[in-house]
Chain A
């Protein structure tokens, strides 16, 4: 026997063990609490103790301010770290297995690298690059390696040859009509895209999973009412609602995210419900119930993890929809023009398309690639996160 006598299952004195142990917190939850606390304090400080126009970080001499969206974004990053990334590290076997399955799909690996770049760019970019400033003198600079007719830019920063102005590394993707650096604006757009991706996913997943599992486990008329409510959500004219709110209160990025994600969880909830119902028929759920676990413990420990891994795909495929929708709204001019999103950049450059196409093309291609990448990723995750299907085929 590998262990000493006192660690045998038949020598445990159960009457000694109190039930207090049932409330012990996992390292993940402790980490989450410890990181969220300062964030919450900062948010309280920002809203209650300093003026609207005072930058949040003035007390340490930084001229940066945090909006509600920023606070929420950081919160979702914490969530993702403690409950998504850390578990992958804690369960290396499962991670290796997922990775082995995932890397079979080459386009998905490339997509992940691309999304990694967008993510890192979105987080770090604004910290190291100052926001693009209006400089009319350098408007319409062409991207590096290309050239335009000398008369297009106000003054050509690069060299002028044969009457054509060549791009420079100073503005690798050229500049806009106001002389803003397109590259910097795309990097700032990455932040916006990541904020949209993370916050909507968190809201949709939270409401969807809670609502779906509750509905599945309540059953009876509660289930009936909840599902009819989902029908209402699904058939609600969200776009008109958004326009209405926009005219009454004015819209910002936060408003966009909140309105659209509050009406996007219907499908997820419905999927979660049916998935929970089928999972609760599995024998491991019965085994868990017989172990004495409470319904909450069963749902939290078995149903939600199994449901979550299958809705990750669905959520991944939801994100491109939001990104595209934001771009479309911006293009139509109903978005918040102060938000430096890719859509706003495309919208700003549309009138200059004939002689300065890079202003539209650069963010357009980035947006296209990002949406494509999310789609590839969703497909690959569907295959990779399904260990039992694989095991049976062998």
Chain B
């Protein structure tokens, strides 16, 4: 088996958070927190997730636009393929350890395309010089040669050689993305990282750019790391896809596999939120509530458990999944002190008279989508006890009580990676026991 072109292992990028007079570091935003993936030669890997999940940071750490905090990025392009590990365990092709000369060489092997066509070109530089700048930086001092190469390349990306002297403001968004492609290609790299290259464009233009990327990839045998929040774009262009949530990869696998047989609940939710262009399709599906938690203080255990619709119930409990989700949300809100009992009272009181306690209870249940009686007597008791404490304005006690009584394995154990099929892995506790029992689970 040949080595992959790019191999990322346990990559981390933490941004220190400093506060106070002496800029003491009080914490870190864990934007990328230990991700690993491979990209084979000629392959396109998609990186998908909501904004704030760290996918762009991952890209800029891989290409060393930002210095990664830790981890290894092994790049086997530029004809350095056959290197083997040093005796001390480091890899000679580890990008994070490159010196200036090696980095310069790496720049010729990996380039990047950015999201915003309006800001990705210097407004005061003709696009020809902008593309030719890379050649110049890498030592091609012959102006005519640079011009010839860039003109040829502009034609290959569907523009004309006479566009060399034009300025960015004279081009439309789609045309600028073509020029951005030319700029990424001009050093003849093996890998291109595309950070949301089409999300600022109209659908009709998106399709054009995507097919151009496809053609160029085929012609020059490029590998692509394609970052997008748009699942339908990913499906169009990628061979494999990695789903990121809060700095971690929760699922990775071949694109068709992920779309037809998603294993991680987050992937399912992400897939179901894509609007399908079919007016008869049922609306909704799994609605992902709330927003991505802060990467400064990510949830314990599985990071997705605060929003997961399939969060695991502890042993011996078997209630309606919606009720369980509602209970956990309620617990979370009480612990963080975000539930304001006076506010609830006020809402109920909108009818007029002072609300009775039972009305308030009903309102809380309604708000958290918990049914009138929870299917497990113990839990029902815990819930009413907690609500009593709340009604007595004893929110702190209620929080402590709930955090002791209601627990989910998802919040306690960090999920290991489970292999579902060839190349298809996910990190969810629901699969762990099963995978151990039957190493090759049947696809349903």
Contact of B140 among A17, A91, A292, A387 (CB under 8 A): A17
The answer to whether B152 and A17 have CB atoms under 8 Å apart is no
The answer to whether B161 and A2 have CB atoms under 8 Å apart is yes
Contact of B120 among A9, A97, A287, A305 (CB under 8 A): A287
| CB within 8 Å: A-B pair count | 132
- The residue of chain A having its C-beta at the shortest distance from the C-beta of B115 within the complex is A283
The answer to whether B152 and A291 have CB atoms under 8 Å apart is no
Mask of B167-194 contacts with A, CB within 8 angstroms, 1/0: 1110000000000100101111000000
The interface residues of chain B lying within 8 Å CB-to-CB of A301 are: 133
Bound: A390/B165 CA distance, A: 19
The interface residues of chain A lying within 8 Å CB-to-CB of B118 are: 388, 391-392
B114 at the A/B interface (Cβ < 8 Å)?
Answer: yes
The interface residues of chain B lying within 8 Å CB-to-CB of A24 are: 141
Bound: A20/B65 CA distance, A: 25
The answer to whether B149 and A292 have CB atoms under 8 Å apart is no
The interface residues of chain B lying within 8 Å CB-to-CB of A287 are: 112, 114, 120-121, 180, 183
Binding-face segment, B86-94, B103-111, B274-282 = B103-111
Mask of B57-91 contacts with A, CB within 8 angstroms, 1/0: 00010010100000000000000000000000000
The interface residues of chain B lying within 8 Å CB-to-CB of A284 are: 119-122, 130
| Residue among B138, B145, B220 with the highest chain A CB neighbour number at 10 A | B138
| Residue among A9, A91, A93, A305 with the highest chain B CB neighbour number at 10 A | A9
Bound: A287/B113 CA distance, A: 8
- For chain A, what secondary structure do more than half of its interface residues adopt (helix, strand, loop), or is it mixed? helix
What's the nearest-Cβ distance from chain A to residue B191, in Å?
12
Contacts of A348-394 to chain B: CB distance below 8 A: 387-388, 390-392
The answer to whether B165 and A93 have CB atoms under 8 Å apart is yes
The answer to whether B167 and A94 have CB atoms under 8 Å apart is yes
The answer to whether A21 and B149 have CB atoms under 8 Å apart is no
The interface residues of chain B lying within 8 Å CB-to-CB of A283 are: 114-116, 119-120
Bound: A21/B112 CA distance, A: 24
B126 at the A/B interface (Cβ < 8 Å)?
Answer: yes
The answer to whether B124 and A2 have CB atoms under 8 Å apart is no
Contact of B167 among A97, A288, A309 (CB under 8 A): A97
Contact of B152 among A2, A21, A94, A97 (CB under 8 A): A2
The interface residues of chain B lying within 8 Å CB-to-CB of A20 are: 139, 141
Interface size on B, residues (CB 8 A): 53
A1 at the A/B interface (Cβ < 8 Å)?
Answer: yes
| Residue among A1, A7, A309 with the highest chain B CB neighbour number at 10 A | A7
Mask of A1-33 contacts with B, CB within 8 angstroms, 1/0: 111000111101010011111101000000000
The answer to whether B133 and A9 have CB atoms under 8 Å apart is no
- The residue of chain A having its C-beta at the shortest distance from the C-beta of B140 within the complex is A17
Contact of B169 among A289, A291, A305, A391 (CB under 8 A): A391
The answer to whether A9 and B152 have CB atoms under 8 Å apart is yes
The answer to whether A282 and B119 have CB atoms under 8 Å apart is yes
The answer to whether B165 and A8 have CB atoms under 8 Å apart is no
What's the nearest-Cβ distance from chain A to residue B340, in Å?
38
A164 at the A/B interface (Cβ < 8 Å)?
Answer: no
The answer to whether A290 and B107 have CB atoms under 8 Å apart is yes
Contacts of A195-242 to chain B: CB distance below 8 A: none
The interface residues of chain B lying within 8 Å CB-to-CB of A392 are: 118
A293 at the A/B interface (Cβ < 8 Å)?
Answer: yes
The answer to whether A388 and B103 have CB atoms under 8 Å apart is no
Which 8 interchain pairs have the tightest Cβ spacing? Answer: A21-B141, A391-B169, A292-B107, A7-B148, A283-B114, A17-B139, A283-B120, A291-B134
Bound: A14/B136 CA distance, A: 11
Bound: A17/B136 CA distance, A: 10
The answer to whether A93 and B166 have CB atoms under 8 Å apart is yes
The answer to whether B139 and A302 have CB atoms under 8 Å apart is no
Contact A7/B152 with A14-B138, A21-B136, A21-B139 known, Cβ cut-off 8 Å: yes
Contact A292/B155 with A283-B120, A287-B183 known, Cβ cut-off 8 Å: no
7 contacts between A and B (CB under 8 A): A12-B188, A22-B139, A288-B133, A290-B111, A292-B108, A297-B137, A306-B122
B16 at the A/B interface (Cβ < 8 Å)?
Answer: no
What's the nearest-Cβ distance from chain A to residue B32, in Å?
17
The answer to whether A292 and B137 have CB atoms under 8 Å apart is yes
Bound: A38/B144 CA distance, A: 32
